[in-house]
Structures are given as C-alpha cells and as structure tokens.
Amino acid sequence: MKTRLVLIVLLGMSLALGRGGQLPADEAKKTAGDPQQAKIKELLEQAVNWYAILPEAGAKVSLCPQIVQRWQNPVRIETGAGLLVIWTDQGRPEAMARIFVWDGDICHEFGSLSRKNKLVARDERVVVWSPAKPGVDFREVPDAPDPADSPAARLRQMKAIAERVTARLLERNSGGRHEVLRLLPRPLYRYEVKEAQEADPSLVDGGMFAFAMGTDPEVVLLLEASGHEDDAVWKYAFTRATGWTADASFGKEVVWTESTDPAVREPTRPQMQIRRPLP
C-alpha cells in the first residue's frame, strides 16, 4: 500500500512539472493567497523593465523584453519564484536574464546570447553590462539530419536533437556529484524567421530550449538551421542560466562545459549578476 501511495505522489509531481512552468492549481491558489508572494511576483514583473538592453552602444532603440518562463524552485530560491526573460533582435534571441529574489535582493542574472561583443545594458544612462566577447559559439550538430522543408517538421527535428542532449549541474558541497537536468517539453522561444532572414538570408529556422531543475532553467540550448539551398545544416550553442558549474553531452561525448565564475559581477563578462535591495 505504501509503495502504491509513493508511486501516485511521484506521478502527480511528474505531471505537474511537465506543464512547462505552469503552477499546479493548488500551488497557484496557495501563492495567490499569500500577500508576500503576491508582492514579490509583482516586483519581479516590474523588474523586467529595470534595464534597457541595446544591440550596440550607438543604438537608438532598446530591445523589447519577453517573459518566456515563469518558474519555481523552492529548493534553491528563497521565494521559490522567478522569471526567465529574453531580448530579441531581428527575430533572434540576443540576451536573457533570470530574475529572482535572493538574500533580500532582486537579482538579474544576465547572459549574452549574441555572436558579437556589442551588447550593452543600461540603468537609465549608466552602462551596467557590456560583454567584451560573444556569448555563444555555434557548432554543427553531430549526426543531424538535413533541415526539413516545413516549419512543423523542423520543430520535430529540433525537439529530437534536444532529446539527445544530457545537461548536468554540479551540486554544491556534494563531492563532485552532478544532477541531470530535465528538458522542458516546449521551446522557450521559436525564432521569428522572416524577420531574422532580413538580416541573415542563410537562416532557415531556430529555437531556444531549456534544461531545468523542476521548472527553473539552468542550461539553455540554441538550435539553428542555416545554409544556402541544399547545404543547410543544424548548429547548436549552449549557455547556462545559472552561476553553477554545468556541462552538456551528445551521447557520451561532453561537448560543452562552463565552470563557476567567481567574477559574476564583472560587467565585461558574458554572464553577469546585478542585485538591488527589495524595496
């Protein structure tokens, strides 16, 4: 009887986490009835617009933020709640930020998704983040099929490629033990291809996927199909949405790793954290 009860509980948890960032109904009601949680969620939503992200220093117009994931991680985050926000330029994701509360502060963990080193973040007129190097490095996906002809078929291909990946997070104070992260069932973002092709006619398609602890994105995978006529290929790039050490593999081969960065508040790094006290 106890075994059946445990299995039922685990199944319920699995179904809840499979909703791609949506809270279970009972948890949503619990949060809605908590004034402190409601206040923090409101502050997080406001914090999305605290910083202006520009594709380059001389740009006249800042990029528009999009919330692509509302996540929960009561194990690691004091309030349990957070947001993943991206900024796109001409249909492609250029920057992202995890926004959450930690130690009495609202934290923005910025990450560059750009192939260039021209991104700039401003707090009013002050530059607070300007990565000195590109944030992602694209490589050809091993043993990938040719990009399909239709958008629906290419989405299936992207999901199949993402399912081949094992992404892991090094657990702190664990003696080197890693936690395997869970691929979220839907892409965080699908490229606006027509808009992106105006700047890069070789782009065929693209998507952004997340590997998460619960619903909290920790490792991000970018997939792009690019090329001309019959020579288009699938390419990938990884980045982390965390300050922890992470890696990713295709099969048994580790193809990407990122170590914990002690200079997380250095504004010239591709990843950078900014903190403000809770008002």
Instruction: Please say whether the beta carbons of 223 and 173 come within 8 A.
Output: no
pLDDT at position 33, please? 59
70: pLDDT confidence band, cut at 50, 70 and 90? very high
Q: Which of 5-19, 126-140, 168-182, 236-250 has the lowest mean pLDDT?
A: 5-19
Average the pLDDT over 139-151 and give the result: 97
Which tokens go with 193? 């291809």
Residue 10 has pLDDT above 60, yes or no: no
d(Cα 125, Cα 109) in Å, to the nearest integer?
20
* Terminal Cα-to-Cα distance of the chain (whole angstroms): 49
Residue 32 has pLDDT above 60, yes or no: no
Q: What predicted TM-score, i.e. pTM, was given to this entire model?
A: 0.85
Share of the chain above pLDDT 70, in %: 84
Average the pLDDT over 138-158 and give the result: 97
Phi, psi angle pair for 273, to nearest 5°: -110, 135
Q: Which of 14-28, 99-113, 124-138 has the lowest mean pLDDT?
A: 14-28
Q: Where are the beta strands (DSSP E) in 80-232?
A: 81-89, 92-102, 105-112, 120-123, 126-129, 139-140, 165-170, 178-180, 182-183, 189-190, 203-213, 216-226
Q: Is 203 exposed, middle or buried (0-12, 13-18, 19+ CB in 10 A)?
A: buried
pLDDT at position 278, please? 87
Phi, psi angle pair for 230, to nearest 5°: -95, 5
Query: What are the distances in angstroms from CA 260 to CA 172, 197, 222, 246?
Result: 10, 35, 21, 8
Residue 233 has pLDDT above 60, yes or no: yes
SS3 letters across 131-171: CCCCCCCCEECCCCCCCCCCHHHHHHHHHHHHHCEEEEEEC
Please state the domain extents for the chain: 17-134+262-277, 139-258
